[in-house]
Structure 1
């Protein structure tokens, strides 16, 4: 082995050892040219409108589709994964309509901050050891981490479009390190989904138009997190009590049962976010929301969007004890909150009771709120 090859091997082994030391469960390496199919697939996704209102995906299409457009000097891409699998089936809370279902990943501290902090530690030590330039990315940058993770051999993209690992199932946080160093590349993982369609059948809103394709406009995770306005009335009932994200397709994956134990540095869920009471969440004003979700990824959607989601869950709960709180929110300063309060009340009140309540509210200054009352009154 030549001197250059020895250096290349030492750097490759070093960064993988650093990944383990910093608590990552998986670390594999690929090249910037390893996802040649990505540009066409991304273009098809955007052309179909499956990205919904996520305009930033179209705006960053070129950089997202090709790592070399994002950084022309990159020679190796190191992909890291951390297992966040729950200790129980997260779908159990769906049978408790007075409680709220928050996606497993959001029951901890914001993973963006934690993973990026650890990646920066790895990057600093790696740059000092090898003298190469490095850049780290976690989700928020225009990097197609799931195709890159599959190309690096961490797993494969399942029919639900998320990464699946033979050793950690569908519960993985991803991050990447781009470097100018030429490292040894790992072999990609082949698809092991076979004829299974458990994830597709588990989706409550039929968000998968076909295996390996997702329409975000019907995805509960997108609707409750990324979507800012009113939510399609035909989908609200199917959302149930999911107020932030949805774990159904992930939890249904059979590969989860083969998942290895998580690292000792695994994030621990907050007890108060595992199944909080809807009644408690409906009382949150903006300061209360910010305080309650400090350090949580939930905080980034803001109080108004969050309460909108809680009101949908309240409307689906059948719990008349929530009526008083919904009436109070019907006068909220936020139009999206007032609109969802109207919908929730139309579901919780008797028909005559709601007609009487709505009689004096059809002159709301916001057209969407007026439409909610008119639609609710017209629904038998």
Structure 2
């Protein structure tokens, strides 16, 4: 090697982050195939990466949202309302897609007794009460427990209050926001190494043997998610932008969906989405609020999971579903999905709510939850990738759409 030739490490550093992640992915698969025992030991690397993301996400959201509102200038445009509309529309549309797919390709489950130590909500009212209690949570507790609804509430309140403070206070808050953002960028730079550890350890430990008995159910679930990601979401974006939506869709899936697939946590992927929103040139005042909000209420993948698994139980038990009930299930699934936790497997705990529509007892509903945990290796990963990438997609669509609208009116 000549003195002018860059080292392998320097060449890797020059590659884009997505390319580095793909290299980490391939290396993780190879290690799991050829040295499974060694691959199992890489679980610690993946855990460190996910823990780092989860650690920075709450403080990042709190500081960034507070700083954005505190430094917001009067007359400066934000586009939160159209983004909220797209979030709700996308989640409901995903539930409808799941109803149609489950009707056309019904799945059957082998329901048996499973000892799954989980606690599911007792009804929709309990979900709504839980959301309200999250809003008024203690700020310290909200930060410690990554309660993003509570964090958003306190950040908005503090931001509004600090808007009336002196310029120096607001400048300090802006500097603090920049400092936290730098830390987040450092964590994200380790994504290829973290994903290498996650992929290698997951394949070496779980493999895909447990999924063979649920191929049909997985096909329906993943098929719905692919349809929403590649057909339904582009239709919504096209309706908003009136131009080819696929460049934006593919960018969001590639740069947000890949990391979300392996971290399996919408909350952990918030820093990734904030960084992507910045690179897309979106309004910081908008995406600093819409991205963490989307990690809580924009849950198309969760709506699909809740609907498909519930209708699989309904089909297994021979219960007849009419069109009004199917529509009601879509609404319930959308509401339940908005209450899903931002952690791995959060949507599964809300399946008993949807099952209660059909009079299915909790004992059987919890068996369906157990099936969800069995197929969770792929289901939860795909669900999180859809949820998280859609956060950026709809934020970008709303921002770009409103900007273009303003330009036409001008």
TM-score category (smaller protein)? under 0.3
Normalising to structure 1: TM-score of the pair?
0.25
Normalising to structure 2: TM-score of the pair?
0.24
Question: Greater share of strand residues, 1 or 2?
Answer: 1
